[in-house]
Amino acid sequence: MTINIPSTDQKRIVVVGAGFGGLAFAQKMANQNVQLVLIDKNNYHQFQPLFYQVAMAGLEPSAISFPLRKLFQKKKNVFIRVTQLESVDIHKQIIKTSLGPLRYDALIISTGVDSNYFGNEELAQKTIPMKSVSEALYLRNQILSDYEKALVTTDYEERQGLIDMVIVGGGPTGVEVAGALAEMKRYILPKDYAELDNQEVDIYIVQGASCLLNGMSENASKGALKFLEEMDVKIKLNTRVVDYDGKFVSMNDGTKIRSNKVIWAAGVKGTSIAGLSDTCYNRSGRLLVDAQCKVIGIDNVFAVGDIAAMQTDDLPHGHPQLAQVAIQQGKFLAKHLLNIQNDICEKTFRYKDLGSMATIGRNRAVVDLPKFKFKGFFAWLVWLFVHLFSILGVKNKVMVFINWIWNYFTYDQSLRLIIKPNDKNKKIL
């Protein structure tokens, strides 16, 4: 079996991964005289910063997903294939996928990164990551299903296991999930699950570093800590999770927390690609690239986004793994390849820091801009505007905006559905 792509005299550029970096590159190159093949395991782009709102039943998956074919439906030189990269033959310039082999003239790797469990298979098997829409939906189902079970559970310890939650990692994802869970505890449980005592619900953040939002400013870190403590989130700093058996979370200080759900937001790592030498990666599993995003030592293979590590004296570990870095790299690389075609002098990538931010529930956020750092209500409005503007598609923007407005004034959403796949052998009445 082979991937059926028409032969052409145009240069064939294959993009693996439709995340922020790959999509920015593809959109920039779609209008050029090249044949563009976009490969992804899904047929849609996912807006990762809002996965947690899907998990907390604040948004539906369709609101933060956008079909790739709709995005490129008027581009006759763009071909989309739903498949997974298996290996790369850098000598023959061929990639192998689950659909078969495909030749390339230039290969752009934008596969993103996976959760890093630091070699602990128990944690990998039993904790819940949030790196895709499907994982966010799984978490939503687990939370709501456990609330339903808690209603009929009389044993106190068993009930605590169902309603208490542990978040491992105090980065942006961790604090945003904790804030959303705290609001659910405060506003939703008394309405939907009045038989439960919402004061029994405990939400924990376990953070290995000495502060939250490590990498953002001290103002942001202290602000997030203050906001979460006001929302009754229990925070354990300088603490690492060493084991989880499905019922008890064990920490390196000897303490344990009873919980049936552990959300893993404690770090990421790159996934190696067969055919690429180990020397292509840094210690975090990211591909080492030069100042033009080319994988070091390999011709015609480039990487952008979280998987790419452009290491310099100022950035010994590469750029931060942020959406803006990926978008800027994708756009730069598209322009760089066009410059090569037109014999224009090479330029180097320069990241323009537009800032970073995190929201901690209603009216609470922290924002670090290059010249200003602020928190509170205005920071929350800035966070809303930036994320709303960044979502693909006018319809999606409208859907998200309506949900946010409705939730703000009613302290409620109407999306708390437990949707699970049916057994295909079971008759549906």
Strands 268-269 and 11-16: unpaired
Strands 85-89 and 106-109: unpaired
Nearest to 183 by CA among 170, 196, 201, 160: 201
| Alpha-carbon gap, residue 205 to 211, rounded angstroms | 11
Catalytic position from the list 135, 176, 229, 346: 176
Q: Is 176 a catalytic residue?
A: yes
Q: How far is CA 366 from CA 33, 220, 355, in A?
A: 43, 5, 11
| R_g over Cα of the chain | 23
| Alpha-carbon gap, residue 12 to 36, rounded angstroms | 6
Bridge partners (DSSP) listed for residue 249: 244, 257
Count of CB atoms within 10 A of residue 35's CB?
Answer: 21
Q: H or E segment at 178?
A: helix 172-183
Question: What single DSSP character describes residue 345?
Answer: P
Nearest to 289 by CA among 1, 18, 21: 21
Burial class (CB in 10 A: 0-12, 13-18, 19+), 228: buried
Nearest to 178 by CA among 163, 192, 188, 166: 166
| Alpha-carbon gap, residue 151 to 259, rounded angstroms | 16
Q: Concatenate the DSSP letters of all residues of 50-71 into one string.
A: GHHHHHTTSS-GGGGEEEHHHH
Residue appearing with tokens 């998987």: 307
Residues marked active site are found at 176
